[in-house]
Amino acid sequence: MSAGTRQGGLRVVVVGGGITGLLAAIRCVQAGHHVVLLERGPVPHPGATSFDQHRALRALVVGDQAATRRAAELDRRWRELDALLCDHLPGAGLYRRSGVLQALPTGRVPEAVATASAAGVPLRIVHPSAYPLVGFPRGSGAVLEPHAGTLLADRVLNAAARWLRHHPGAELRPGREAVGVDPDRGRVRLADGTAETGDVVLVAAGPWTGALVDRPVVLHRQTMVYLRPPAALAHAWAATPTAGGLGADGRAWLLPSVAGTLLKISTDAVRREVTTLSGPDDDAGWAARVLAAGVVSDVDGYDVVRVKHCHYATADGDGTGFVRVGPTVWARPAGGGDGFRTAPPAADAVVAELSGQAVAVA
């Protein structure tokens, strides 16, 4: 009997308790399936790629109207998820429409405006001088998406785990490390010698997915630096939007202090390909490179609170949805560096496919 015709819902085993696994589990429960979620550590796991203070949510892809239109739907989708996970509690919002600022060469500003207009995305042209704390490339222009902003990432994960714990259709099983997946039998082998079998298996283990299913991925390591602004600038930073295209080379970005978070900065210049998740890093002074990238004006006056080296995986074609790897097994081998943007449509699409309603995910 096919997944779309089975009566009484399916037993769905989800491997991985990051943003993709948690949202896929929620969508499966909402569709009437019974979910068993396996995670090698606690749920949520502080070591997961998606466990972080905050992540940006934006729509504009300059020059690509279709991609911008699809991304704009995420504003609505995350507001729905915010209401679901917070149970409409006032003041408990997980998604803050703080705006997203994008630095661009001045010649590309008209193209950005045209793309946003065609996609129905609100956009304003702003001058970099309005944001003196932010390091813009010399001579650049800037645009602001007011209907974009910041997701409080670790709070999202905790709220999603709490929602699942209180739902009778879900079982969370922390401390259960998957070491292999049989794509033909829908069977997950665990490190303790036991196994879990489901009518459907969804592998959403982030950059660890490639070790469980035979799907080629490229592993990346990224360094992020967390800063505490001087007390005199705390109020100004709280009113500053997320920003990208920064630094002397236009490859850096920042997420400001929102709802008690630290200021986070990084640059694509410190993103590097690696062969393993646990291998040692070379002594390249990655944090120093981030601090020297010109992301923040007068960065020497800020306290460095934390440095984090995170990992993510990409695949050929930049696909970020679930792919079928066996008769009853789907995997999301790559989420890119923006998993919070791509996880909701990936989860929606795979659950629709289980119901025989295949939809496309970019």
Between CA 252 and CA 183 the distance in angstroms is: 40
pTM: 0.91
Q: Is the pLDDT of residue 109 over 90?
A: yes
The kind and range of the H/E element at 246 are: strand 242-246
- Residue 307's DSSP bridge partners are 225
Lowest mean pLDDT among 1-15, 65-79, 185-199, 287-301: 1-15
Q: Is the pLDDT of residue 3 over 60?
A: no
Between CA 218 and CA 314 the distance in angstroms is: 5
Query: CB 146: neighbour CB atoms within 10 A?
Result: 14
Angle between helices 109-119 and 65-86 (to 10 degrees): 60
**What whole-number percentage of the chain has pLDDT above 70?**
92
The confidence score (pLDDT) of residue 4 equals 39
Phi, psi of 96, rounded to the nearest 5 degrees = -110, 120
Q: Which residue has the tokens 């930073």?
A: 237
Q: Mean pLDDT score of the chain, rounded to an integer?
A: 90
Sequence-distant (≥ 6) Cβ neighbours of residue 14 within 8 angstroms: 21, 24, 25, 28, 35, 36, 37, 38, 201, 202, 204
The kind and range of the H/E element at 96 are: strand 95-96
Sequence-distant (≥ 6) Cβ neighbours of residue 110 within 8 angstroms: none
Pick from 54, 39, 67: nearest CA to 95: 54
Contact 46, 158 (CB under 8 A): no
Between CA 275 and CA 299 the distance in angstroms is: 32
The confidence score (pLDDT) of residue 317 equals 61
More confident of the two residues 356 and 197? 197
Q: What is the pLDDT of residues 322-335, one digit of tens each?
A: 999 999 999 998 77
Tokens for 93? 């919002």
Q: Is the pLDDT of residue 360 over 50?
A: no
Q: Which residues of 108-135 are buried (b: 16+ CB within 10 A; e: fewer)?
A: bbeebbebbeebebebeebebeebebbb
- Residue 228's DSSP bridge partners are 303
Lowest mean pLDDT among 137-151, 155-169, 328-342: 328-342
